[in-house]
């Protein structure tokens, strides 16, 4: 299925029949891997960590909390409300932040605060991107020790081998195995449902867990311990935000159909089955998921679980690649090298630097924690913070863009914020035991994103202050015209009203100008895609000068030569690659007498700036058509 096909699914309301079924199947394979593998460890962690006795009322209380968490957070918050807050069909933290910024455009302070929240939410995604593969694959492989305790020493090595293979596979692309994702995950969810039903029929009283009273009674009975148990219950909803993040690929309707028609019923039936098993055999609490299966099915279940967790991990890794590219386009991240792994699907990219950094962090987590129970202490806190940030950003959207009344939007904020804050506080006790890791990783990524954004702003400001006005330069050409040579000279600039330093350097050193000169500015809009018809705007000036503005969405792939070809067809620009020279500036940064940032951030920005990939590569400009001029800039 091509990326174009998937994107057209963003209007899935018009899809029907086989097309809707194909999109729904694809959504099952990509969107629900993380939340779909949560039954592997959630029930075990709730009872194992907090010392809750697996009595009848306690089991029903935990099952009730799981059910209503799934209903309130995933079904109501994300599926019903937040998925409506799409940015031209796209979802995710970046899209939600862009809409919140649009809603708060009249308040600079609020816009800055929302931007910081959005950046921190995006940064926390990388923490989730490290923990999800480690937690899910490790919990799947641990089924071996349930089947044969003698295999326990091999769990960690096998987990590392699987993870190394998964990350090594990224450079090869996922198109060849992507077609298997949907069918494998459908088999996974059906297996979850069947295993659950097989035990529920033996203990049907667990169906009463849908009554919220059991959850409330659990809190009343255990008080503080009951509240802290939410820190493990949240494991049941990790991955719920993926519904929103992947909306642009499949559309709202297929994701809803997959959730309510297959995923939600099957995973909750599995939780009910685990509860029924624990009530019948309390000792099964050590690993109720695998002990649900008959002995002959244990090894096949380990294999199927491992495949499901690989798929869940793949979705998170691909999401990290996509988020990195979006952050680069929006100016939060330096240009970074990435490779397309598919000639047909533009969304399939491989970012080597991110890939190997994630692998090192994941392997370190596995070696450091060595079991899913230990790792669960670090899991969930990043997700709960992200969910709370989503609530705050969505509140701004519903109030200012959807024009909800004050009381209605306040109910939305207070209701969901109470739920989110409860999970955040319950998970806060995990900070000492390992929860510091995703927070530290997210904080580090936030420092990188915010430093780059601030540094680029300072660099643009200083460059603009020292830039000669374009109007004044054109007037000077009338009095002292330089020698003009054939061809087209393209000078890239961030300031369309000023003269690029590279142009002045060329004129100073070479004493010539091309007969046609294009001053080209690239703008990234806060929308995922810009239509081709709006891609480039060219304004003809005096003395053979043109001012061109190229626009891209944050999910578009920049290609300057292609944009100029499009412009050539509409005006007299006359772009021919072999007759065109691209002039780029290469700045050398030095500290200003009064630096605009604290010293550590300045040094970090200098390091990031020096190691950013070249503009020529990023904008797909052939190296043999590029001339670079060095210049020194103080920031």
Mean pLDDT throughout 385-391? Answer: 92
Angle at 491 between CA 489 and CA 497, to 5 degrees: 125
Mean pLDDT throughout 90-108? Answer: 84
CA distance 27 to 259: 9
Specify the pLDDT at position 596: 78
- At residue 572 the predicted structure's pLDDT band, cuts being 50, 70 and 90, is low
CB 313 within 8 A of CB 143: no
Which pairing describes strands 545-552 and 536-540: parallel, antiparallel, or unpaired? antiparallel
Specify the pLDDT at position 229: 85
* 3-class DSSP string for 502-559: HHHHHHHHHCEEEEEEEEEEEEECCCCCCCHHHCEEEEECCCCEEEEEEEECCCCCCC
Mean pLDDT throughout 178-204? Answer: 92
Among 428, 384, 84, 124, which residue's Cα sits nearest to residue 237? 384
Under DSSP, is residue 469 helix (H, G, I), strand (E, B) or coil? strand
Between 373-377, 423-427, 497-501, the lowest mean confidence (pLDDT) is in: 373-377
Mean residue pLDDT across the chain: 87
CB contact set of 296 (below 8 Å; sequence gap of 6+): none
Top pLDDT among 18 and 207 is at 207
CA distance 588 to 559: 25
Specify the pLDDT at position 11: 42
Mean pLDDT throughout 436-456? Answer: 92
Q: What is the pLDDT of residues 22-40, one digit of tens each?
A: 888 888 888 898 899 999 9
CA distance 487 to 273: 74
Positive/negative CA dihedral, 488, 621, 494, 597: negative
CA 461 to chain centre: 30
Among 120, 620, 555, 10, which residue's Cα sits nearest to residue 319? 555
Tokens of 70: 């799934």
Fold of 3-331+345-430: Amino acid/polyamine transporter I (1.20.1740)
Residue 488: beta bridge partners? 516, 580
Q: What is the pLDDT of residues 318-346, one digit of tens each?
A: 888 888 888 888 888 998 888 877 655 55
- At residue 42 the predicted structure's pLDDT band, cuts being 50, 70 and 90, is very high
- At residue 558 the predicted structure's pLDDT band, cuts being 50, 70 and 90, is very high
CB 345 within 8 A of CB 175: yes
Specify the pLDDT at position 20: 85
Q: Provide the whole-model pTM.
A: 0.85
Top pLDDT among 56 and 592 is at 56
Positive/negative CA dihedral, 368, 353, 243, 32: negative
pLDDT of residue 151 exceeding 90, the answer is no
pLDDT of residue 53 exceeding 80, the answer is yes
Specify the pLDDT at position 250: 80
Mean pLDDT throughout 190-195? Answer: 97
Specify the pLDDT at position 6: 38
Mean pLDDT throughout 182-199? Answer: 95
Specify the pLDDT at position 177: 58
CA distance 605 to 598: 11
Mean pLDDT throughout 562-571? Answer: 81
CA distances (Å), origin 157, targets 163, 357, 361, 377: 10, 20, 16, 21
- At residue 106 the predicted structure's pLDDT band, cuts being 50, 70 and 90, is confident
pLDDT of residue 291 exceeding 80, the answer is yes
Q: What is the pLDDT of residues 391-441, one digit of tens each?
A: 999 999 988 888 888 888 889 889 999 999 999 998 888 888 888 888 899
CA distance 206 to 273: 8
Mean pLDDT throughout 83-97? Answer: 82
Which of 43-52, 177-186, 259-268, 307-316 holds the top average pLDDT? 259-268
CA distances (Å), origin 593, targets 81, 599, 634: 50, 12, 8
- At residue 7 the predicted structure's pLDDT band, cuts being 50, 70 and 90, is very low
pLDDT of residue 16 exceeding 70, the answer is no
Specify the pLDDT at position 489: 94
Kindly report, as residue ranges, where domains of CATH 1.20.1740.10 are found in the chain.
3-331+345-430
Tokens of 100: 């919140």
pLDDT of residue 259 exceeding 60, the answer is yes
Tokens of 459: 């660099």
Using CB atoms within 10 A of its CB, is residue 252 exposed (0-12), middle (13-18) or buried (19+)? buried
pLDDT of residue 178 exceeding 70, the answer is no
């Amino acid at each position: 299925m091509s990326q174009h096909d998937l994107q057209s699914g963003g209007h899935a309301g018009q899809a029907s029949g086989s097309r809707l079924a194909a999109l729904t199947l694809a959504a099952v394979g990509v969107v629900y891997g993380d939340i779909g593998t949560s039954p592997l460890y959630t029930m075990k962690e709730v009872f194992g960590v907090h010392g809750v006795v697996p009595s009848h009322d306690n089991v029903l209380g935990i099952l009730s909390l799981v059910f209503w968490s799934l209903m309130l957070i995933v079904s109501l918050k994300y599926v019903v409300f937040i998925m409506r807050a799409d940015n031209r069909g796209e979802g995710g933290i970046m899209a939600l932040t862009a809409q919140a910024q649009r809603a708060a455009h009249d308040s600079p302070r609020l816009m800055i605060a929302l931007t910081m929240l959005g950046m921190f939410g995006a940064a926390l995604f990388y923490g989730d991107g490290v923990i999800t593969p480690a937690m899910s694959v490790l919990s799947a492989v641990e089924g071996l020790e349930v089947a044969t305790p003698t295999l326990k020493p091999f769990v960690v090595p096998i987990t590392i081998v699987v993870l190394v293979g998964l990350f090594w596979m990224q450079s090869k692309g996922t198109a060849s195995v992507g077609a298997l994702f949907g069918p494998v995950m459908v088999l996974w969810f059906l297996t979850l449902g069947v295993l659950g039903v097989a035990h529920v029929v033996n203990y049907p009283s667990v169906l009463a867990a849908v009554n919220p009273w059991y959850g409330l009674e659990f809190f009343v009975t255990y008080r503080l311990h009951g509240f802290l148990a939410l820190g493990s219950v949240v494991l049941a909803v990790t991955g719920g935000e993926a519904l929103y993040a992947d909306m642009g690929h499949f559309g709202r309707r297929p994701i809803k159909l997959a959730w309510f028609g297959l995923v939600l019923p099957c995973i909750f039936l599995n939780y009910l089955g685990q509860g029924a098993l624990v009530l019948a055999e309390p000792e099964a609490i050590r690993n109720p998921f695998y002990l649900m299966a008959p002995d002959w099915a244990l090894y096949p279940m380990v294999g199927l679980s491992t495949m499901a967790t690989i798929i869940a991990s793949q979705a998170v890794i691909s999401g990290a690649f996509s988020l990195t590219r979006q952050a680069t386009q929006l100016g939060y991240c330096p240009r970074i090298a990435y490779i397309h792994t598919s000639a047909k699907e533009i969304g399939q990219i491989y970012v080597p630097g991110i890939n190997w950094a994630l692998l090192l962090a994941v392997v370190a987590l596995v070696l450091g924690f060595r079991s899913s129970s230990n790792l669960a202490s670090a899991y969930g806190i990043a997700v709960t913070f992200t969910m709370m940030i989503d609530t705050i950003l969505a509140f701004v959207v519903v109030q200012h863009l959807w024009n909800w009344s004050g009381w209605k939007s306040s109910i939305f904020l207070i209701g969901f914020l109470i739920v989110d804050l409860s999970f955040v506080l319950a998970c806060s006790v995990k900070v000492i035991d390992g929860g510091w890791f995703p927070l530290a990783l997210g904080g580090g990524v936030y420092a990188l994103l915010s430093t780059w954004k601030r540094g680029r702003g300072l660099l643009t400001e200083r460059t603009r202050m020292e830039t000669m006005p374009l109007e004044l330069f054109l007037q000077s050409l009338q009095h002292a015209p330089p020698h003009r040579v054939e061809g087209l000279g393209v000078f890239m600039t961030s300031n369309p009203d000023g003269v690029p330093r590279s142009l002045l350097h060329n004129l100073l050193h070479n004493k010539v100008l091309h007969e046609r000169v294009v001053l080209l500015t690239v703008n990234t809009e806060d929308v995922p895609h810009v239509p081709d018809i709006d891609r480039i705007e060219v304004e003809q000036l005096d003395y053979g000068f043109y001012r061109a503005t190229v626009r891209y969405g944050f999910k578009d792939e920049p290609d300057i030569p292609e944009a100029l070809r499009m412009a050539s067809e509409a005006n007299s620009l006359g772009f021919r690659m072999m007759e065109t020279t691209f002039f780029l500036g290469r700045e050398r940064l030095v500290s200003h007498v009064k630096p605009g940032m604290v010293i550590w951030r300045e040094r970090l920005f200098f390091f990031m700036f020096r190691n950013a990939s070249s503009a020529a590569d990023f904008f797909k400009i052939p190296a043999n058509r590029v001339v670079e001029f060095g210049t020194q800039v103080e920031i």
